[in-house]
Amino acid sequence: MSDAGVVHIRDIGIRLGDELVVIVDALDMDAGDVVVLDAISGAGKSTALGLIAGALPAERMSVSSAHRLSGQSITPELPRDKFSGPDRLGFVLQTNILIPYLSISENIDLPMTIAGQRPETDWREHLVRALGLTGLTDRMPTEVSVGQRQRVTIARALLGQPDLLLLDEPVSALDPVNVGQVERLIEVLAQDAGSAVILASHQAARGAFADARRVGHRTEDQGGVLYSRFSDAYEGEMAA
Amino acid sequence: MTRLPLSLAVKELRHDWRGSLCFIAALVGVLAPMLVVLALKNGFIGTMIDRLVDDPSNRELLAVGSGAYDAQFFDMIAARDDVAFIVPATRSINTVANSLRNRPKRNLERAVPLIPTAAGDPLLGGLVVEKGQMALSETLAAELELAIGEKAEMIIGRKLDGDQQNAVSELTVTGIVPERLYSRYAMFISLPDLLAVERFRDDKLLTPETWRDGLDMQESYASFRLYARALDDLRVLESALTDAGAQVRPRAENATVLLLFRKNLDILYAAVALIAAAGFWAAMAANLRGVVERQRVSFSFLDLLGLSDRARKSIPVFQSLILVGLGICVTFIIVGLILVTINLGFANAPQQMAARLGPLDVIGTLILGVLTALTASGWAVLAIDRIGTEEVLRHA
């Protein structure tokens, strides 16, 4: 794995109160890679995603600590707009959050608008059509279903064809019939966008990401402090 | 980068239009009554004050009793910035001409008060009455059917050893003092002419033929006519004259009382306005803070998407400015309609305008509104400062 890949992380972490430390020991990804953070609820999967994305202030846990996204070295001091543009990172969150006062169309375009970028028209139309959002774009978030909201967040995350797509329990609110369909859509569209994908999920053992590479997870109790560690190196140590 | 946060601010307000309307209504509810009260205060009190200011007699200080005021006293008082006009008077009460006769019209008025005048007399405007001239009160001029440029005979009588002697002086009318400034009969004459009248009555050696010859100014005078430059100067000037040995009182006590009333009313209004503004400021700050709390996850998500801190923090500031701006606009429209209605209701009243707002009131309201909007959004801005990306990541 080269340092110029999409993700290169060594030994960064964050303390959550006095009793939990979430650490990403090692993670390397190239364009098109798909990995799954497969751990029990409460293990800090969302926090690990935040750490990887540079959305949370990471602590260097050792002298060999490293955090690079798309070749860009990430530090807590670096302004987010320097590395979190829609062409770098895309987020799909568990809660399907949409800005309630923006239309579906405006929500889809929001990351690009913030970054001052224009979406590729063909790619946008492809996303909207593929995700079944045609005819819904002028509606407000309260006027679409939960499943449609989820597909809007996927369109929003992929519109900038990001280097890295981060998915945090993206199908947890969907019924089982739709789960497989949405996961397959994400997989295909991420491939179309050329994005590397990190999926944080506790139900990825089946569905479209069942065969994806797993990031290992282990926990250690050191003097009453729980260390929750994620690493490519922990093969066979997944806590499902 | 103001376009995006401004756009987000507007869209959020539009989305929550009922809440925005309630907020604007709350502002109008506080501001409109305050402006109506201010307009009424400006109108009624202002008109009364304007009338007082327009009438010089309200600025007159009357000398109480007789004194002995020399040239040094008059020079000292005339040099004061708060003195508009002073002229010596020979008596504490007006000297009286026995009669004034318009011979061609065969009109005669007896016992006409003689009032000394000089350059700068507020009752005469810019007119200067020289020796041999006179200005008449409008009522007297009408009674005698005299107009400017015409002549009339002033008759000064005295009893000498039982004989009645009359001195006659023909004076030219050079001015008419409007009735609103002086309503009674009076002749305004120069100080030398007044001194001549006094001397004829006191000096037996003078004859009706020689009474105006060789006239010298007196060393001291018993009284004076004095006008302050402004109503606000009355109290200070009265005190200064007392210190200089001259007892005086304002001709119109109600003028000073009204001034005091206006001052107290201004203080009272400012206090009420301050309390109302503080109450509104607190309500506004709490409302904006509440909006941030309701949109907490959205603000966190905007942070996750890379919207800068500055842009996020400017959203409630824009919202505050927009809401206050709209509130002030609506207020001005409503207050304007109310004032038109009030003024129509008082159309036949003697006041020119019963209620009015000046440009300064409007500008002051706008400035106060902007300041209120900016400062009241501070709490919301601080709250946004504490919202990080972790909130949306942990939001379930």
CA A87 from chain centre, in angstroms, equals: 13
The sign of the CA dihedral A81, A87, A92, A95 is: positive
Quote the CA–CA distance of A189 and A193 in Å, as a whole number. 6
Question: Pairing between strand B69-70 and B60-63?
Answer: unpaired
Contact across the interface for A100 and B305, Cβ inside 8 Å: no
A182 touches A171 (CB < 8 A): yes
Q: Which of A36-40, B132-136, B365-369 is least confident?
A: A36-40
Q: Work out the minimum CA distance from B282 to partner chain A, whole angstroms.
A: 26
B16 part of contact set with chain A, CB < 8 Å = yes
Q: Which residue has the higher pLDDT, B156 or B209?
A: B156
Considering only CB atoms, which chain B residues are within 8 Å of A106?
A: 11
Which of A34, A29, A36 has its CA nearest to residue A6?
Answer: A29
- Other CB atoms within a 10 A radius of the CB of residue A221 amount to 9
B306 touches chain A (CB under 8 A): yes
Q: pLDDT, tens digit, for every residue of B108-123? A: 999 999 999 999 999 9
Residue A38 CB burial class (10 angstroms; 0-12, 13-18, ≥19): buried
Q: How far is B305 from chain A (nearest CA, A)?
A: 6
B100 bridge partner residues: B109, B154
At residue B182, φ and ψ (nearest 5 deg) are -150, 110
In degrees and rounded to multiples of 5, residue B341 shows phi and psi of -60, -45
Task: Please give the pLDDT value at position A1.
Answer: 43
The verdict on a CB contact (< 8 Å) between A50 and B390 is yes
Q: State pLDDT tens for residues A38-76.
A: 888 888 888 999 999 998 889 898 888 999 999 889 988
What percentage of chain B exceeds 70 in pLDDT? Answer: 98
Q: What is the pTM of this model?
A: 0.72
- pLDDT band of residue A2 (cuts 50, 70, 90) is very low
A147 to chain B, minimum CA–CA distance in Å? 16
ipTM of the complex: 0.88
What average pLDDT is seen over chain A? 88
Q: Using 50, 70 and 90 to split pLDDT, how confident is the model at B1?
A: low
pLDDT one-digit tens code per residue, B168-204: 999 999 999 999 889 999 999 999 999 999 999 988 8
Q: Between the CA of residue A31 and those of A6, A69, A111, A143, B380, what are the distances in Å?
A: 6, 11, 21, 36, 41
Q: How far is residue B189's CA from residue B92's CA, in Å, rounded to a whole number? A: 16
- List of chain A residues whose C-beta atoms are within 8 Å of the C-beta of residue B390: 47, 50, 55-56
Closest Cβ opposite residue A100 in set B298, B304, B307: B298
Closest A-chain CA to B307:
A114
Taking an 8 Å Cβ-Cβ cutoff, which residues of chain A contact chain B?
46-47, 49-50, 55-56, 79-81, 84-86, 91, 93-95, 97, 99-102, 106, 110-111, 113-115, 140, 168
**Residue B178: count of CB within 10 angstroms of its CB:** 11
CB atoms under 10 Å from CB of B154, counted, come to 21
Contacting residues of B for A77, CB less than 8 Å apart: none
B11 at A interface, C-beta within 8 A: yes
User: Looking at residues B147-160, what average pLDDT do you find?
Assistant: 94
Contact (CB<8Å) A110/B297 = no
Task: Give me the helices (H) in B90-185, please.
Answer: 138-144
Q: Which of A88-102, A141-155, B180-194, B352-366 has the lowest mean pLDDT?
A: B352-366
Point out the least confidently predicted range of A99-103, A134-138, B151-155, B266-270: B266-270
Query: Which residue is listed with tokens 């809660």?
Result: A95
Predicted confidence (pLDDT) at residue A77 exceeds the cutoff of 90: no
Q: Which of A81, A84, A97 sits opposite B301 (nearest CB)?
A: A97
Residue B396 has what pLDDT?
Answer: 61
Q: What is the pLDDT at residue A240?
A: 38
In this complex, the residue of B298, B305, B394 whose CB is nearest that of residue A46 is B394
Contacts A97 to B, Cβ<8 Å: 297-298, 301, 392, 395
Count of A-B CB contacts under 8 Å: 72
What per-residue confidence (pLDDT) applies to B145?
A: 96
User: Which DSSP category does A58 fall into?
Assistant: P
Show residues of chain B in contact with A101, CB under 8 Å. Answer: 8, 11-12, 14-16
Beta carbons within 8 Å of B55's beta carbon, 6+ residues apart: B180, B181, B252
Q: Flag if B301 and A99 touch (Cβ within 8 Å).
A: yes
Closest CA to B310 of A106, A72, A57, A81: A81
DSSP symbol at B125: T
- Average confidence (pLDDT) over B66-83: 94
Give me the pLDDT at residue B28, please: 94
Give one DSSP letter per residue of B246-307, joined into a string. Answer: --EEES-HHHHHHHHHHHHHHHHHHHHHHHHHHHHHHHHHHHHHHHHHHTHHHHHHHHHTT-
Answer whether A47 sits within 8 Å of B393, measured CB to CB. yes
Which residue reads 């997944």 in tokens?
Answer: A238
Residue A55: which of B11, B295, B304 has the nearest Cβ? B304
